[in-house]
Structure 1
Amino acid sequence: MTGTLLLTRLALRRDRVLVAIWLLLLVGVCYASAEATTSLYPSLAERVRAAEAINSSPSIVALYGPVVDVTSIGELAMTKLTVLYAVFVAVFMVVVIRRHTRTDEESGLTELVGGTAVRSTAPLAAAVLLGCGLSLVLGALAGLADLAGGLPLEGSLAFGASWAGVGLVSVGLTAIACQLSASSRTCAAFSAGAIAVLYAFRAVGDTSTGPLHALRWASPFGWSTQLRAWSEPRWWVLALYALTAVGLITSAALVRGRRDLGSGLVAERTGPAQASPRLRSVLAVTVRGHRASLLIWTVAVAALSVFFGTVAPDISDMLDSSSAREMIERLGGVGVIQETLLAAELSVSAVVLTCFGISVIAQAGEDERSGRTDELMAAEGSRGAIIGSHLVVALAGSLWLLVVTGVCMGVGFGAEEGTLTSSVRSLVAAALGQAPAVCLVVLLTAVAWSWRCTWHHVGWVFLAAFVTVGQLGELLRLPDWVVNLSPYSHAPAMPVEPFDPAAATALLALGVVALTAAVARFRVRDLG
C-alpha cells in the first residue's frame, strides 16, 4: 500500500473541480425533486393517482422503475432518481476511475509515478479508494438533501445508501474494464456497455412476468427499487452492493498483477502500416478520433428519445393536481400539457447533448498536453486547422444529436398519437430551437481551451453553472436575473412557444464573439 494515500490525495486535488460539479448537480437535483414534489402533490389521493399512472405505463416503468408504495411521498419524489439518475452516479464513478487508472497509464503518468517510492498496485488502489470515498460522500449528501427537502428520515437514509451502493459497484466495474482494455476509450466503451446491459436487465425485469421478472435482481439498478427505501426498507439488500463491489475490486487487483503496464487483457488491434489517403487532413483525423464516440451517443440518444416520446402521452395522467400542472408549465411554457412536457424534455436533452461538444474540446486539450497536437503541427497542420477541426466536430456533432433527438422523440410520440409526420416535423424544429444555446456553451468551452490548454475542463464548470441557474432556477426559486444568465433560459420552449428570432440572434451573436476570441487567442499562444 506504499504511496496509496499520497496518490489518493493527489487524485482528489486534480479532480476537485470535477467532483464539486458532479456533487452539486446530483445533490441539487435530489433536493429540488424532494422539495417540489411535496408541493406538487399535497394530498394522498393526488399522490396515489400519480403513482398508479406511472405503474400503469410499461414505458414509464422501463425508464424510471416502478413505484413500490403508491401512498409514499418519498417514493413518488424519487421515482426518476432511484433508477435513471443512479445511471449518472455510475457514470460519475466511471469518469473518476478511468482517469486515474487507464488514462494516466496511457499518457505515461503512471510509469513516471512508478519510478518513485510507490508500489505498482498503488495507482489502482488510490483510484478505487477515491471512488469508494466519493460514493459514500455522495450517498450521505443525497440522503441529507432528501431530508432537507421534507422527506422522511429513514427513507432518505436508505435512498442515499442505494446511490452509494450503485457508485461502489460502478467503481468495481470500471476497475475491471481498465484491466481488460488497452486504451481509455475502449475502457469507457466497456464500462458504458456494462451499465447499459445492467439497466436493460432491470427494465426487462420490471416490465415482464414469469421467469424474466427475476432479471430485476440481476442488476444493481433493480436492487435500488427492491430496497424499498420509502416503505419498510430491506436493509439486507445493501449487502448485495457491498459484496458485488468487493468481488469486482478484488478481481481487478488480481488481473492488474498479471498484466504488463500499458497493456490490457484484450489485445489492441494494430492499425495498417500506412494510413488511408482520406486521413491527410486535420479535420479527417479529428473526425476519425470521435466517430466511435458519436456513434455511441447517437444510439443512446435515439433509444432514450423514443422512450421519452412514448412516455409523453401517458404522463399527463399523472398531473391531475393543479399545482403539478402549474409547475410543469413553468418549466416548459404554457399550453397543452403533453407538448409542455415534450418541451421540458427537449430542454433537458439539450443540456445533456452539450456534453458531447464539451468532451470534444476537452479531448483537444488532452491531445495538446500529451503532444499529439505537436505531431499534427509537424505534419503540415496549422493552428487554424486544429482549432477549426475540433470546433466543426463539436458543433456539427451536437447539431446532429439534436436532430436525432427530435426525429426519435417525434417517432415515439407520433406513433402513440397517430400523428407521426407532423410530430417528427414539429419536434425536429423544437430540438433545433435549442441549438443556439448549445453552440454558445460549446464555444465558451473553446474560449477557455484557447486561453490555456489546461483550462479545457472549465467547460464543465460553465455547464454546471448554467444548469443550476437555468434548469433548476425555477425549482430553487432563484431571482429572474440569475436565471437569465443561462443560455438555456433563452431557448424557446417549442413546440409550446413559438420560435424567438431575437433571442436566437442574440445567442448566435455571442457565439460569434466567442468563436472569434477563441481562434484569435489560439493562434498566438504557446502550445502545451
Structure 2
Amino acid sequence: MRETLAGTGILIRLGLRRDRWLLPAWIAGFAVLTYSTALAGVNLYPDVASRIEAATALNATASMVALFGRVYDPASLGAISLFKYTAFMAAILAVLMVIITIRHTRSDEESGRLELLGGGRLGRDAPLAAGLVISFGASLVLGLVTAAALAAGGLPAAGSLAFGLGWAATGMAFSAVAGVTAQLSASARAATGLSVGVVAVTYALRAVGDLAEPGPSALSWLSPIGWNQQIRAFAGDQWWVLALPLALCTALVPVALALRARRDLGSGLREEHPGPARGTLNGVWDLAVRLQLRVLMAWCVAFVVFGVVIGSLASNVADLLSSPNAQELIKRLGGTQAITDAFLAAEVGAMGLLASAYGLAAARRLRDEETEGHVEALLGTATTRSRWATSHFAVALAGVAVLMLLAGLSVGAGAAFAVADGSQLGRVTLAAVAQIPAAWVIASAVLAVFGWAPRLTGAVWGLLLVFVALGEFGVLWNAPEWLMDLSPFRHSPLLPVDSGAAGPLLALTITAAALAVLGYSGWRRRDVAA
C-alpha cells in the first residue's frame, strides 16, 4: 500500500499551489455570503413573530419547498435566515468539489501531466489520493470558516458549527462520488458530467421528498443534500446525521481505489471503441456537433425527466395552502391559478439557470479546444477562425434553445395532465422559451472573454454565480436595484408571458449579439494561445 501511495505528499503540495487562488477565493466567497446573510437576518426578522410568519409562508409555498427545502424551526433566526443555503448552496458546493477532484485526477491524466510525473517515483494511487485529500481538506476548511462567519454574524455557535460541518460533509461526499466517476471514463468532461448528474438527481430526490406531507419522505433520506437538511442546524442540531455522508465517503473511497487498480493510465473502465475505418465528418460543423452531442443529449434527458416531475406537482400547490389565512391570500392573489403560475414560473426560471450553465460549458469548449492544440491543426486547413468559432458557439446557442423548449414542453405537459388543463402546455412552453435570450447572454459573454482574455474564460462561471446569488439573495442583502438589474435573468418575463415581454427579450437578444461581435473581434486579432 505504501508503494501505491508514493509521491502523494508531493502531489498534494503541487495541487495546492495550482489552486492557491481558486480555493481561497471560493472559501472566502462562501464565508462572506453566510456572514452577510446572518447580519441581514437580524434586521429582516427582529422578533419571533416575524420569523414564524415568514417560515409559515415559505413552508406553505410548494415552489420554495421544492427549490430550497423546509424551515424546521419557524422561531429560529438561523433556520429562517439560511433556509435557502442549506440545499441550494450545498449543491453549488458539491459541484465545486466535483470540479476540484476531477481537475486533480482525470484532467491531469487527460493532459498527460501524470504520465510525465510518473517518470519519477509516483505510486499508482497517489494522484487519486492527493485529489481526494485536497477536496476533503478544502471542504473541511470551508465548513469551519463558514461556521466562524455565522457565529461572528451573531448566530448561535452550536448551530453555526452544525451548519458548517454539514456543508463540509456534503462536499466530502460528492468528492468521493467524483473519485469514482473519474475511473469510469477516459474523458474529464464525461466524468464531470456524470458527477454533476448525480448532484442533479440527488437534488431532485430531495425536492420531491420535501414536498411530501408532512415531510420529509424517504426520498429525502436517499439524497446527500437531503442529509444536509436533516442535520437541522439552528433547529435541533441533529449531529448524528453527519455520520451518513461520512459513511458514504468511507464506502466510496475504497471503491474508487479498487477501480483505479483495474484500469490503465489515461483510460477508463468503459472501453473506447475505435471508429469506422473511413470517417464521415464533413468540416468543423460536423466536428462541433459530434463533440457536443452526447453531452447535450444527457442534458435533454435530465431536463425532460425533471420537467415532467415538476409539472406533475402543479395540482398539489393550492392544497398545501390549507389554512384560512392562506386561503384568503389565494383569493387576493387571484385564485389557485395565480398560485400555480407562481410555482411553475419559479421552476421554469430555475431550469433557465441550468440551461445557462449548459450554454456556458458548451461555449467554453472553444478554450478547451485551443489549449489542447486542436485549433492550431484545424486552422492549418482552409477553415477560417470565424467559421471554427461559430461552429461551437452556434451549438451552444442551439443547445440552450433545445433545452428550454424541452423544459417548457415537459413541465407544461406534466402540469396539463396534473390540473386537467390543456392550455398549460402552450403557456408554460412560451414562458420557457422566453428564458432563452438571458441564457444566450451568458454564452455570448464566454465568447467575448475568449476573444480578448482567453485565460479568464473560466471566470464566467463566477459571473453566472453572481447573477444567481443576486436573483436569489439580492433582496435579503438589500442590494441596490441597479446592481440587481445587471443580471440578464432579472429581465426575463415570467409566467404568464404577455405582449409587454417583447421589449426586454429584444434587449437581451441585442446584448447577446453585441457580446458575440465583441468576441469575434478579439478572436480575429489575437494569437492562438496555449
Question: Do both share a fold (TM > 0.5)?
Answer: yes
Partner of 2:483: 482
Q: 1:223-259 deviations in whole A, cap 9, x for unaligned? A: 3344343443332332332233234234434543554
State how far apart, in whole Å, the 2-side matches of 1:283 and 1:381 are: 11
Q: Tell whether the 8 Å contact from 2:27 to 2:142 is kept in structure 1 after alignment.
A: no
State how far apart, in whole Å, the 2-side matches of 1:237 and 1:27 are: 22
Q: How far 1:355 sits from its partner (Å)?
A: 0.8
State how far apart, in whole Å, the 1-side matches of 2:200 and 2:312 are: 20
Q: Tell whether the 8 Å contact from 2:362 to 2:392 is kept in structure 1 after alignment.
A: yes
Partner of 1:349: 351
Q: 1:362-408 deviations in whole A, cap 9, x for unaligned? A: 12201110112223334543212211111111111111112222222
Taking a change above 3 Å as real, the CA distance of residues 205 and 349 of structure 1, as seen in their structure-2 partners, is: closer
Partner of 1:370: 372
Which residue type is aligned with residue 374 of structure 2?
R
Q: How far 1:148 sits from its partner (Å)?
A: 6.9
CA RMSD of aligned residues (A): 4.0
The percentage of counterpart residues that share the same residue type is 33
| Alignment of structure 1 residues 87-486 onto 2, 5 Å | 87-115=91-119, 121-143=125-147, 152-195=156-199, 219-257=223-261, 259-276=263-280, 279-312=281-314, 314-315=316-317, 317=320, 336-420=338-422, 422-486=423-487
Q: Tell whether the 8 Å contact from 1:60 to 1:311 is kept in structure 2 after alignment.
A: no
Q: How far 1:500 sits from its partner (Å)?
A: 3.2
TM-score by length of 2: 0.82
Secondary structure in 2 matching 1:397 = helix
Tell me whether 179-188 or 337-346 shows the greater mean CA deviation.
337-346
Which residue type is aligned with residue 361 of structure 2?
S
TM-score by length of 1: 0.82
Tell me whether 281-290 or 222-231 shows the greater mean CA deviation.
222-231
State how far apart, in whole Å, the 1-side matches of 2:210 and 2:469 are: 32
Secondary structure in 2 matching 1:273 = coil
Q: Tell whether the 8 Å contact from 1:11 to 1:130 is kept in structure 2 after alignment.
A: no
State how far apart, in whole Å, the 1-side matches of 2:513 and 2:220 are: 49
Q: How far 1:170 sits from its partner (Å)?
A: 1.0
State how far apart, in whole Å, the 1-side matches of 2:309 and 2:393 are: 30
Q: How far 1:11 sits from its partner (Å)?
A: 3.2
Partner of 1:332: none
- 1:10 counterpart (4, 17, 25): 17
Tell me whether 5-14 or 288-297 shows the greater mean CA deviation.
5-14
**What is the number of equivalent residue pairs in this alignment?**
511
State how far apart, in whole Å, the 2-side matches of 1:174 and 1:400 are: 28
State how far apart, in whole Å, the 1-side matches of 2:50 and 2:341 are: 26
Secondary structure in 2 matching 1:416 = helix
Which residue type is aligned with residue 451 of structure 1?
W
Taking a change above 3 Å as real, the CA distance of residues 214 and 426 of structure 1, as seen in their structure-2 partners, is: closer
Taking a change above 3 Å as real, the CA distance of residues 437 and 189 of structure 1, as seen in their structure-2 partners, is: closer
Q: Which runs of 5+ in 1 are unaligned?
A: 330-334
State how far apart, in whole Å, the 2-side matches of 1:520 and 1:138 are: 40
Q: Tell whether the 8 Å contact from 2:317 to 2:339 is kept in structure 1 after alignment.
A: no
State how far apart, in whole Å, the 1-side matches of 2:11 and 2:163 are: 31
State how far apart, in whole Å, the 1-side matches of 2:410 and 2:32 are: 27
State how far apart, in whole Å, the 1-side matches of 2:297 and 2:44 are: 36
Secondary structure in 2 matching 1:180 = coil
Which residue type is aligned with residue 502 of structure 2?
P
State how far apart, in whole Å, the 2-side matches of 1:504 and 1:486 are: 13
Q: How far 1:6 sits from its partner (Å)?
A: 1.9
State how far apart, in whole Å, the 1-side matches of 2:520 and 2:482 are: 30
State how far apart, in whole Å, the 2-side matches of 1:293 and 1:29 are: 37
Q: How far 1:515 sits from its partner (Å)?
A: 1.8
Q: 1:66-122 deviations in whole A, cap 9, x for unaligned? A: 665676565566556444553333222211111221012111122234446765544
Secondary structure in 2 matching 1:455 = helix
Q: 1:275-304 deviations in whole A, cap 9, x for unaligned? A: 22xx21211111111112112212222233
State how far apart, in whole Å, the 1-side matches of 2:298 and 2:171 are: 22
Taking a change above 3 Å as real, the CA distance of residues 151 and 401 of structure 1, as seen in their structure-2 partners, is: farther
Q: 1:123-165 deviations in whole A, cap 9, x for unaligned? A: 3333212211221233335545665777654333323322211
